[in-house]
A = this chain, B = another copy of it.
Amino acid sequence: MPLLSLRELGELKIIDILEQKLGASARMAVGYGDDISAITLGGNRVAVLKTDMLVGSTDVPPGMTMRQAARKAVVANVSDLAAKGVRPLAGIVALGLPSRLNKTDIEEIGTGLRSASREYGFDLIGGDTNESRDLTISVALFAIADRRRLVLRSGACDGDLVAVTGGFGATAAGLKELIEHGKRADQLSPSLYRAVFVPRAQLDVGLRLAASRTLTSSIDSSDGLAWSLHELTKASRIGIRINEVPTSREVEQFATRYSDRAEDLALYGGEEYHLVVTVKPERIRSAERAARGRLRTIGVVTRRFRGVRLKWGERDIRIPMKGWEHFKSK
């Protein structure tokens, strides 16, 4: 039997294999497969750890500066803490730098890292520098949290409302402009430009939502809206029916111009850092207040089926678990 290639395996199966090999431990306060990892420190205090690696060949679109790439590497990590309602305390960064870079590139990477850590109120306190064929910015974040306050992926229950912190699809539209339609970065509309090059993690909203204690589950949407909804259904062992696909005016306009479907861009695009949460119906007003107008209800949790469906007139359409998957996505 020929050995399976990573492309045939796909990222999900690769992660499966690694988790099996690493095994679980009694000290793990959060199981594998949530947005963050955590270890018990005693009582209800846990140390939260998160690492997310930015790789030049897959995560840096044409036209992105070194400063923006470094900032994005931090944002991707902060976004996962935001989804759990945890404020980062400190971070470290391991860099893999291709030797073709120059001094200005290094300064820009330093500036991007610094501005991102300031933006989210923590310090990057050390790291490691290496030579690599592929630009690699591997950020690791640390936080302390109360185990009982962490909003996991696994708490969604039948009847909960499903809500998101913004419209989806702008990053996918922006990337299509750049890669498929040959636009330069400066030719993008401001909102598509921001989505691709200066994405923001929803840390403030995530912290306020967690503090409001209105959430039953939460996930960040960096692998795409459809993917994130599916992850919630798997972790919580429920189904989700959405009534609408949250997009934005710019995404609709882009879709009209290029005969794309705005819903597809929003569902399967990925690289967006909104939060996808579930809330008890009687708590939705409190959650909306906590999110200061940033929360948009798009559906409901159900135990009648597993998976994700979109209400479409009188029928339900199944939404496949599709999105950015390393090794499988091009």
List chain A positions with a Cβ less than 8 A from chain B: 3-7, 9, 11, 14-15, 17-18, 20-23, 25, 27-28, 32, 36-39, 41, 47, 49-53, 55, 57-59, 89-97, 99-104, 106-107, 109-111, 113-114, 117, 123-134, 136, 138, 140, 142, 144, 326-327
Contact = CB atoms under 8 A, between A and B. Distances in A.
A5 to B, nearest CB: 6
Residue of A50, A106, A138 most packed against chain B (CB within 10 A): A138
A131 B325 CA distance: 10
Contact of A102 (B4, B20, B52, B125): B4
B136 A49 contact: no
A101 B21 contact: no
A1 B166 CA distance: 46
Contacts of A5: 99-102
Contacts of A21: 107, 109-111, 113-114
A114 B24 CA distance: 11
Contact of A50 (B57, B92, B111): B92
Contact of A114 (B4, B14, B23, B138): B23
Contacts of A104: 3
Contacts of A107: 17, 21
Contacts of A117: 22
Contacts of A89: 39, 47
A130 B326 contact: yes
Contact of A51 (B15, B52, B127, B133): B127
B128 A52 contact: yes
Contacts of A9: 103, 106
